[in-house]
Amino acid sequence: MSHASFSDFVSKLDRAGELRRVAQPVATELEITEIADREMKSPGGGKALLFEHPTVDGVRSAFPLAINTMGSERRMAIALGLDSVDDLAHQMQLILKAKPPTNLRQGWDLLKQGVDLLHARPKHVKGGPCKEVVVRFDDADEAASTGFSLRDLPILKCWPRDGGRFVTLPNVYTRDPDTGERNLGMYRMQVYDGRTTGMHWQVHKVAARHGRGYYDRGERMPVAVCLGGDPAYTFAATAPLPDGLDEILFAGFVRKKSVELVKCETIDLEVPADVDFVLEGYVQPGETRPEGPFGDHTGFYTPVDDYPVFHLTAITHRKNAIYPATIVGQPPMEDYYMGDASVRVFLPVFRMNFPEIVDLTLPAEGVFHNLVFVSIRKQYPYQAYKIMHGLWGMGQMMFSKYIVVVDEDCDVHNTSEVLFRLCANTDPQRDSTFIKNPCDSLDHAPSVPNVGSHMGFDATRKLAGEGYDRKWPELVRMDPEIKERVDRMFAWLVSP
């Protein structure tokens, strides 16, 4: 189920009891972070917050600011228009299993199974709410235009040592100059002035590759940045889609409604017509500027480095636009729930490559790349190592610093249970392995940036073929019949 607008989504959160409104003025400089951080660290991720009167340098912004809108399992499901995120995982599973329909009958059968691909294709429209207000920047002089600029948006200065204000939930649209292929990604943007920002796409990101294409041609690279609209766009921007798979098709599939695309005013790109803000502009390939520091999702400040510069040529927006934001920092934060939803939805894709995988999670403490818990149906010796190496060879999973493999009967979402297995089932020397692999650029621990070692633990039960000649003992467990009987007799006793 789609959302007509970002404010429609916020209203749904309100009706579900998932929103707290803050009526008093609060500073976009650090104060909103402190409030949002406490909320995100309260049990289950707290509530979404709508700051009705954020202030910028002491002046009330014309736009309210929403934060932590996806920061719980429930809100993530509401964002995707679902009762549970697992419903979407189930639909992914059906698609992967289904053969592409060759006739209407097969197509109809797929539809009956709940697979709805009809709405994946976007529609092209002439106008839309994102153009209710159009502000073009005169190339000659900003002051000659209305005076409206990025300074009018309630953009956060997140942490004390940050290099400035950062746009933290930007949906960034670029196009491959050779193939015309579109990409939607999320790259933080440091505000330099009213119409210039940094563009933090790292070398291995798709947009950076597009940039090299424009560089080779000696052409300006058009870039459009959208804020707000259906949260399905934000989910699609951060989802681990295979390179070349159009995020807009995926968003259409997620929201069960075609994305309506509209042409930008000053650049040759299309954006969803229902978003709250569109920042149109360009990156001049080759031009860079120091970006950072920034209090990052690693829990540490990432240092200053050179990144491309985004020059705005126009801002268009809804009259009643809401500015969406998030903060990152020491876990757990809102991004954990977004990442967790991605892992759940894409687990069927992992299972296609590795059918023995039962479940997989990236615990909040590992801030995505540092820790992976995976459970497998183990059938042969050293299968745990096969899975580790498989994951280390798959896309962004290559950055996984520690991988712990457990048996299928261990709940990977229960960190306490995984640690129990890790400690109880391993001989440290026999059951661990070190490898060399690329590291996340944001990881400050490796001696040399971007490269280092990773470690895997085989916490599964050991087989005879693994040099373990005794009989592996059985876990202490109650009989299921007794559990059921006790459940029936004592409803107040929660079955573990």
The total of other beta-carbon atoms located within 10 Å of residue 259's CB is: 30
Residue 465 DSSP symbol = G
Q: In the complex, what is the shortest distance from the CB of residue 118 to Mn ion, in angstroms, rounded to a whole number?
A: 22
**Which residue's CB atom is positioned nearest to Mn ion?**
183
Q: Which of 296, 335, 431, 440 is catalytic?
A: 296
The count of chain residues that interact with Mn ion, using the rule CB under 5 A, is 2
Q: What's the N-to-C CA distance of the chain in angstroms? A: 34
Smallest CA-to-CA distance from 277 within 222, 228, 313, 325 is with 228
Task: State CA 462 to chain mean position distance.
Answer: 36
Task: State CA 118 to chain mean position distance.
Answer: 25
Q: In the complex, what is the shortest distance from the CB of residue 243 to Mn ion, in angstroms, rounded to a whole number?
A: 6
163-174 residues labelled b (16+ CB within 10 A) or e (exposed) = bbbbbbbbbbbb
Q: In the complex, what is the shortest distance from the CB of residue 297 to Mn ion, in angstroms, rounded to a whole number?
A: 20
Give every CB contact of residue 361 below 8 A, 6+ residues apart in sequence: 340, 343, 372, 373, 374, 412, 413
85-110 residues labelled b (16+ CB within 10 A) or e (exposed) = beebbebbbebeeeeeeeeeeeeeeb
User: In the complex with Mn ion, which residue's Cβ is closer, 397 or 459?
Assistant: 397
- The residue ranges of DSSP E strands in 264-370, in sequence order, are 270-272, 277-291, 294-295, 301-302, 305-317, 323-325, 357-361
Longest dimension (CA), the chain: 83
Q: In the complex, what is the shortest distance from the CB of residue 86 to Mn ion, in angstroms, rounded to a whole number?
A: 24
User: In the complex with Mn ion, which residue's Cβ is closer, 51 or 187?
Assistant: 187
Element (H, E) at 219: none
User: In the complex with Mn ion, which residue's Cβ is closer, 100 or 242?
Assistant: 242
User: In the complex with Mn ion, which residue's Cβ is closer, 206 or 412?
Assistant: 206
Site string for Mn ion, 202-241 (x = CB under 5 A): ----x-----------------------------------
> Rounded to whole angstroms, how far apart are CA atoms 75 and 65?
17
Count the residues in the chain.
496
Residue reference for tokens 């268009």: 316
Q: In the complex, what is the shortest distance from the CB of residue 206 to Mn ion, in angstroms, rounded to a whole number?
A: 5
Q: In the complex, what is the shortest distance from the CB of residue 241 to Mn ion, in angstroms, rounded to a whole number?
A: 5
- What residues numbered 163-202 form the site for Mn ion, per CB under 5 A? 183
Q: In the complex, what is the shortest distance from the CB of residue 183 to Mn ion, in angstroms, rounded to a whole number?
A: 4
User: In the complex with Mn ion, which residue's Cβ is closer, 91 or 183?
Assistant: 183
Smallest CA-to-CA distance from 267 within 214, 228, 204, 318 is with 214
User: In the complex with Mn ion, which residue's Cβ is closer, 78 or 237?
Assistant: 237
Residue reference for tokens 């009967």: 409
The token pair that represents 16 in the structure block:
């579900």
The token pair that represents 417 in the structure block:
């249970």
Catalytic, 268? Answer no
User: In the complex with Mn ion, which residue's Cβ is closer, 65 or 206?
Assistant: 206
Binding site for Mn ion (CB under 5 A): 183, 206
- What residues are annotated to the active site? 296
